[in-house]
Amino acid sequence: MMKSLVENFPKQLSEAIEIGKSAELTHSNNKITNVLVCGLGGSGIGGSILSELVVANANVPINVTKGYFIPAYVNENTLVIISSYSGNTEETLNCFELALNRKAKIVSITSGGKVAELSKANGLDCIVVPGGMPPRACLGYSLTQLFFVLGFNNIISNNYINELEQSIKLLNSEESNIIAEATSIANKILNKIPVIYATTYNEGIAIRFRQQLNENSKVLCWHQIIPEMNHNELVGWTQKNDNLSVLLFLDHDEYSRNMTRVEINKEVITKYTPHITEVFSKGNSAIEKAIYFIHLGDWVSIILGELRGADLMEINVINHLKSKLSEI
């Protein structure tokens, strides 16, 4: 099932655009001065990716919280987006209640559950997406709706619609190449610990890839961002370790100083592991490039999981955790 969900990602994006276009949203009675996206895991990663993609376009600050609480600045001038695919994420529900108490403008993105119930009971905007799938397989739904919510509230321009549509065309035209590249990457990191490096404003993409390797492939890995890691993690490369496989997620039009750093980093790291792979995005906009990376990373996680004989759907340990928490 997970493999078919990844295959259908372009169709999901198309459906998500139609959902966004038909969403019944209302304007706030107050001027929006900041945005807070509340969500965790597969439901929350869209907020991280969105905040980086629109950083040069959004006219107010956009922050993301992935826990039980919201910042002190949240008030009636805050747009709070509640993103919970199941609608029952306890941390996000707590944020929902707190945002209600602060009289924030609340918009929810969910497939149902308590989030939908709370939204209806309080007369709040709620975009309902198709349910019954793992949250990590529904990023196309949640990420797309985030764009529509920001666009409706005049926080970003409407260019995102065209860029999302172009992203779908890109994935459809590149699908066979994406699978081939994903297969190559999966074989390179098989039986190794992936170390994921990306540059500023691509951290959400790196986190998404790490999470997909965790949940689908059932492996541990880590990520860091250039140039930040040049001020700390680079010093940690002091011992040879053939079990580490470095993946560098890059754009062909990277900021020149970052590319200089990448080249120097490669010189340092190759002294300690021979396994370094550069992965370049495709697309003409930041959104296209991000969608391309997301789809490529998802395919890597599927193929690596298959190579390892993993159950792509299984998340027993998360279910165990939720079960234990429900007993308290």
Is there a domain that residue 318 lies in?
no
Asked about 231 being catalytic, the answer comes back as yes
CATH number at residue 221: 3.40.50.10490
Same domain membership, residue 226 and residue 137? no
In percent, the amount of the chain with pLDDT more than 90 equals 98
Task: List strands edge to edge, sheet with 222-226.
Answer: 222-226, 193-199, 244-250, 276-280
The pLDDT tens digits of the residues spanning 280-326 come to 999 999 999 999 999 999 999 999 999 999 999 999 999 999 899 98
Mean of pLDDT values over 43-67: 97
* Listed residue (186, 218, 245, 185) closest to 2, CA to CA: 218
Residue 230, helix vs strand vs coil: helix
Which one-letter DSSP state was computed for residue 154? Answer: T
Same domain membership, residue 186 and residue 148? no
Is there a domain that residue 320 lies in?
no
Same domain membership, residue 180 and residue 153? no
Distance from first CA to last CA of the chain, Å, rounded? Answer: 33
* pLDDT of res. 26: 98
Total Cβ atoms within 10 A of residue 6? 22
Asked about 322 being catalytic, the answer comes back as yes
Catalytic residue among 11, 27, 266, 322: 322
* pLDDT of res. 14: 98
Query: Residue 35: left (phi > 0), alpha (psi -120 to 50), or beta?
Result: beta
Residues 6+ apart with CB under 8 A from 68: 90, 91, 94, 95
Same domain membership, residue 6 and residue 152? yes
* pLDDT of res. 194: 98
Same domain membership, residue 140 and residue 70? yes
Q: Which amino acid is at 277?
A: T
Same domain membership, residue 180 and residue 47? no
Same domain membership, residue 123 and residue 64? yes
Distance CA 259, CA 204 (A): 19
328: pLDDT strictly greater than 90:
no
Structural domain that includes position 77: 2-157
**C-alpha distances out from residue 108 to 52, 62, 63, 308, Å:** 20, 16, 16, 37
Which one-letter DSSP state was computed for residue 231? Answer: G
What one-character-per-residue DSSP string does 235-299 give? GG--S--TTEEEEEEE-TT--HHHHHHHHHHHHHHTTT-S-EEEEE--SSSHHHHHHHHHHHHHH
Q: How many domains is the chain built from? A: 2
Catalytic residue among 52, 215, 254, 288: 215
Distance CA 215, CA 106 (A): 30
Is there a domain that residue 324 lies in?
no
Asked about 7 being catalytic, the answer comes back as no
Phi, psi of 102 (to 5 degrees): -85, 0
Is there a domain that residue 168 lies in?
no
Is there a domain that residue 164 lies in?
no
The answer to whether 100 touches 106, Cβ cutoff 8 Å, is yes
Q: What is the largest CA-CA distance in the chain?
A: 60
Same domain membership, residue 132 and residue 6? yes
Query: Rg of the chain's alpha carbons, rounded to an integer?
Result: 20
221: pLDDT strictly greater than 90:
yes
Q: Which two tokens stand for residue 197?
A: 């490096």
Same domain membership, residue 105 and residue 242? no
**Residues in the chain, total:** 328
Distance CA 44, CA 273 (A): 33
Is there a domain that residue 232 lies in?
yes
In which element (H, E) is residue 127 found?
Answer: strand 125-128
* pLDDT of res. 197: 98
Mean of pLDDT values over 238-265: 97
* pLDDT of res. 182: 98
Catalytic residue among 231, 263, 324, 327: 231
Residues 6+ apart with CB under 8 A from 203: 48, 52, 223, 225
The pLDDT tens digits of the residues spanning 134-155 come to 999 999 999 999 999 999 999 9
Is there a domain that residue 328 lies in?
no
Is there a domain that residue 10 lies in?
yes
What pTM does this model have? Answer: 0.97
The pLDDT tens digits of the residues spanning 59-77 come to 999 999 999 999 999 999 9
In percent, the amount of the chain with pLDDT more than 70 equals 100
What mean pLDDT, rounded, does the chain reach?
Answer: 97
Same domain membership, residue 103 and residue 31? yes
Same domain membership, residue 231 and residue 94? no
Same domain membership, residue 188 and residue 152? no
Residues 6+ apart with CB under 8 A from 65: 36, 37, 38, 71, 95
